[in-house]
């Protein structure tokens, strides 16, 4: 007999950086004073009581990509305590959308025709970067790999990753990508009924993610 359990996945959007406020494509920059202050305030809210803490699983495997802002966000939020002995681990599939040669540049520096194509064409990639279609494929593959997880997951990442997850789970067309507003320091929570193998080693593959809440402030 196949045993089914609920797997919870919480996607945490990293704290804001100077690039976000300056309307430029991010490079691997850390949090400034304002970002650290806002993250510390979110950490206090999470620690305030059961209702606030319910935005994230109490015990979970904690994953980040290898960016400075994701590392700092996880550290200031105190997520290592939720991760237990395994600690916070790096998952490369959670890396931000790669904008290639546009990294670190202001929007005004990019030809408007190129920005328009990038916004409208899911297969268009900046020079040296990746397309939104490639991003969604990467994230979808990562989600498929969570099917056999035996513990809840908290993933600290970026708005593009959250959008790609929602497109995949809700089966939305690519045009919806830019219509999803993912604010910093918000949590998107999903769950799925994961099947654990029975005595014969078989598991039911017909499981689906369900959205519990989207972009809830921490």
Calpha distance 210→88 (Å, rounded): 25
What pLDDT is recorded for position 208? Answer: 81
Distances (CA, A) of 160 to 43, 57, 80, 213: 23, 22, 24, 17
Spans in the chain with pLDDT lower than 70: 1-4, 49-54, 194-207
SS3 label, residue 32: coil
The tokens describing 130, both together, are: 């990746």
pLDDT of residue 129: 96
The predicted structure's pLDDT at residue 1: 45
9-26 burial, b at 16+ Cβ within 10 Å, e below that, comes to: bbbbbbbbbebbeeebbb
pLDDT score for 58: 84
- pLDDT value of residue 195: 56
How far from 34 is each of 21, 26, 31, CA to CA, in Å?
A: 11, 16, 8
Question: What CA–CA distance (Å, rounded) separates 59 from 106?
Answer: 39
**Would you say how long the chain is, in residues?**
218
């Amino acid at each position: 007999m196949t045993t089914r359990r609920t797997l919870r996945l919480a996607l945490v959007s990293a704290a804001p950086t100077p690039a976000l406020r300056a309307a430029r494509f991010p490079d691997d920059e850390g949090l400034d004073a304002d970002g650290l202050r806002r993250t510390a305030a979110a950490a206090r809210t999470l620690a305030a009581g059961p209702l606030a803490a319910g935005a994230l699983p109490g015990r979970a495997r904690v994953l980040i990509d290898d960016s400075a802002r994701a590392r700092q966000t996880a550290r200031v939020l105190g997520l290592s305590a939720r991760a237990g002995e395994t600690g916070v681990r790096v998952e490369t599939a959670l890396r931000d959308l790669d904008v290639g040669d546009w990294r670190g540049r202001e929007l005004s520096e990019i030809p408007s025709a190129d920005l328009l194509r990038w916004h409208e064409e899911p297969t268009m990639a900046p020079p040296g970067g990746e397309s939104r279609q490639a991003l969604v494929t990467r994230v979808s593959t990562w989600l498929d790999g969570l099917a056999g997880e035996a513990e809840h997951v908290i993933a600290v990442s970026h708005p593009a990753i959250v959008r790609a997850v929602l497109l995949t789970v809700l089966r939305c067309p690519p045009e919806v990508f830019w219509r999803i507003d993912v604010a910093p320091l918000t949590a998107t929570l999903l769950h799925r009924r994961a099947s654990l193998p029975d005595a014969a080693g078989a598991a039911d593959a017909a499981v689906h993610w369900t959205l519990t809440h989207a972009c809830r402030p921490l």
